[in-house]
Amino acid sequence: MTRPYDLPSFTAINCFEAAARNLSFKAAARELNVTPAAVSQQIKALESELAQMLFHRQHRGVDLTEAGAVLFVAVQRGFEGIAGAVHEIRGRTKVEDVVIHATTAISTFWLTPQISAFWRHYPEMVISQVVSDVELTEDRVDLSFRYGPIPEDGGEYIPLFDDMIVAAGSKDFAARFPTASVADLARAPLIYLSTHRQEWTGWKDWLSAFGVEAHIGKRSTVNNFMIALQLAQDGVGAVLCWERQVGTLLEKKVLVPLVPERLPSPHAFYLQVHSRASEEARFLAEWISRQPF
């Protein structure tokens, strides 16, 4: 009897998701309570089955390949669906989690380190992240990280920080496509983010802000910001980055600014406190709002 889903081993998928989320085989091993060798073996088996490399092995860690980034997004979406169904079946327990929603990029580069810092002070708090790049129904989460104009609908919103938008690329890309000006950048390969969200600043608006009306070079288009960042790290093109959102990539020089021009983001990042939020959720929201950004 054939299986209804043509999928690799779930153990391998689970190891891959943990390693991709942590960008570390060792961290994934600690999380899964197995050895790093076991994680490495599962991922090698998965790569062999898919006939694709999923990670770039570096001296100090790993990075996702383009194929790995595509698979990571798909796996996370699948896990989110499973987690949502399990949550609905279980119902709200007496000791309720604080459920917080964030996009993949916000969770990876900003929120997860903040939660880790929070737990050092309040280890008894139970916090669950729902990581998704699509909007969720309000009854599933207590808090949501958002970017855009703050609604004037009487809801509860906490402004967090404004940001600067910078054009960035890998060191290799910067060497291959020297850009002394924004006009030079308009002739280089650029990575476009295709999204229905009108509030996101795209290349047309960013270039126009500095007096360059059109991009005349090669372009690559994806519909996921994390994949766009991965393509930029692989040297495919330049990408628009929100500095504070992806600060670690810039601090570690995984990506570097290609021109000195920086555009203030037209909107702010803010926290939405949903009507179902518990006292614990509101305490976490207040704590986050007090952190330096």
Tokens of 259: 């021109």
CATH code of 110's domain:
3.40.190.10
> Do 116 and 183 belong to one domain?
no
> Do 179 and 238 belong to one domain?
yes
Res 230 pLDDT > 60: yes
Query: For residues 92 and 71, which has the higher predicted lDDT (pLDDT)?
Result: 71
pTM for the predicted model, two decimal places:
0.65
Res 266 pLDDT > 50: yes
> Do 176 and 259 belong to one domain?
yes
Question: Where in the sequence is the domain holding 197, given as residue range(s)?
Answer: 164-264
Confidence of residue 137 (pLDDT cuts 50, 70, 90): low
Picking from 78, 48, 53, 73, the residue whose alpha carbon sits closest to that of residue 63 is: 53
Q: What is the DSSP string of 91-105?
A: ---SSPPEEEEE-HH
The confidence score (pLDDT) of residue 110 equals: 84
> Do 145 and 285 belong to one domain?
yes
Q: How many domains does the chain have?
A: 3
Q: What is the mean pLDDT of the chain?
A: 87
Whether 217 maps to a domain, the answer reads yes
Picking from 27, 136, 15, the residue whose alpha carbon sits closest to that of residue 84 is: 136
Whether 88 maps to a domain, the answer reads no
The confidence score (pLDDT) of residue 206 equals: 95
> Do 274 and 151 belong to one domain?
yes
Averaged over 80-92, what is the pLDDT? 71
